[in-house]
């Protein structure tokens, strides 16, 4: 039972925090919640199916857990989140709560990107959960009831974490949301790019340049500190970053920032002046 709780809580917290940020960052966008929900459901189903296949296919299990595969997931997620952030910044937004506050994306591409983000986030972490639980089921010394109870408790903890995170974020006023949440999304994207560098450097595909710039493990370890864990998930905090990781992190964030600024500038230029101003 405790093993089930531990694995679901560990992987579920990452999913819950990221989905909560996506929900609050896109709350003014029509149908965004629906597409994120569909993405989560599709991700869960995909993760379970892959885990079932991996039970009888050692190659799939090894390939999915490989650092190169995990790096590919992180790079793809970083790109998709960056694209979503730029889309959000390129749309007008009013300060009141009227119907004009709802952004309508004229094409389905941005919403489809949101769906893909949810799918890949859930599959990335959900596969480990499903594979672990299915292995537990096949162990004769563990009862199915204890696995089910532990899983339910773990899921409940994950839901509570996500709800608390969402409630905390939603308390921020709309005018502050405009600047804070796109920045958090950009940091999330940069953090995933930085985590991909760690994976690629560990298998020799990317030089770290300087392997360790500093070490904050004794003071702020994400394994024992909840705030450090949240920062690791949300902004890519790392106790022992390499120079390459720092370069990629800053470059990713600055690229999103510059492209978003240009998109906002074009948006302002495209807004027609009222007749009173023209006269």
The string of DSSP codes covering the chain is -HHHHHHHHHHHHHHHHHHHHHHHHTTTBTTHHHHHHHHHHHHHHHHHHHHHHHHS-HHHHHHHHSHHHHHHHHHHHHHHHHHHHHHHHTS---SS-SGGGSB--SSSHHHHHHHHHHHHHHHHHHHHHHHHHHHHHT-TTS-HHHHHHHHHHHHHHHHHHHHHHHHHHHTS-HHHHHHHHHHHHHHHHHHHHHHHHHHHHHTTSS--SSS-S---TTT--TTT-HHHHHHHHHH---SS--HHHHHHHHHHHHHHHHHHHHHHHHHHHHSPPPHHHH-
pLDDT higher at 201 or 96 = 201
Domain ranges across the chain: 2-268
pTM score = 0.87
Confidence of residue 190 (pLDDT cuts 50, 70, 90): very high
Find the mean pLDDT for residues 16-39: 89
Express each pLDDT in 42-80 by its tens digit.
999 999 999 999 988 989 989 998 999 999 999 999 999
**Per-residue pLDDT, 70:** 95
pLDDT tens digits, one per residue of 88-147 = 877 655 444 444 445 555 567 888 999 999 999 999 999 999 998 888 877 756 777 888
pLDDT of 271 above 80: no
Q: Of all residues in the chain, what percent carry a pLDDT higher than 90?
A: 48
Taking only the tens place, the pLDDT of each residue in 142-172 is 777 888 888 889 889 888 988 888 888 877 6
Average pLDDT, the chain: 85
Per residue in 223-240, pLDDT tens?
888 899 989 999 999 999
pLDDT of residue 169: 81
């Amino acid at each position: 039972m405790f093993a089930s709780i531990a694995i679901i809580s560990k992987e579920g917290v990452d999913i819950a925090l990221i989905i909560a940020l996506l929900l609050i960052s896109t709350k003014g966008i029509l149908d965004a919640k629906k597409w994120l929900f569909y993405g989560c459901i599709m991700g869960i189903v995909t993760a379970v199916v892959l885990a079932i296949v991996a039970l009888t296919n050692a190659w799939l299990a090894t390939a999915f857990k490989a650092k190169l595969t995990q790096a590919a997931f992180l790079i793809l997620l970083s790109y998709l989140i960056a694209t979503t952030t730029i889309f959000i910044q390129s749309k007008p937004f009013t300060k009141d709560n009227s119907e004009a506050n709802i952004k309508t994306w004229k094409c389905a591409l941005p919403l489809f990107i949101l769906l893909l983000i949810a799918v890949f986030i859930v599959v990335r972490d959900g596969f480990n959960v499903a594979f672990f639980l299915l292995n537990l089921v096949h162990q004769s010394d563990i009862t199915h009831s204890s696995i089910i109870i532990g899983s339910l408790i773990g899921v409940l903890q994950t839901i509570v974490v996500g709800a608390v995170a969402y409630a905390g974020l939603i308390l921020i006023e709309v005018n502050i949301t405009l600047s804070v949440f796109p920045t958090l999304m950009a940091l999330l994207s940069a953090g995933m790019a930085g985590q991909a560098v760690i994976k690629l450097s560990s298998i020799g595909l990317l030089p770290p340049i300087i392997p360790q710039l500093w070490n904050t493990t004794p003071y702020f370890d994400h394994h024992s500190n909840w705030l450090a864990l949240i920062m690791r998930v949300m902004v890519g905090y790392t106790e022992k970053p390499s120079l390459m990781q720092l370069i990629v992190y800053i470059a990713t964030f600055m690229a999103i920032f510059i492209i978003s600024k240009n998109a906002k500038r074009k948006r302002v230029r495209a807004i027609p002046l009222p007749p009173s101003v023209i006269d």
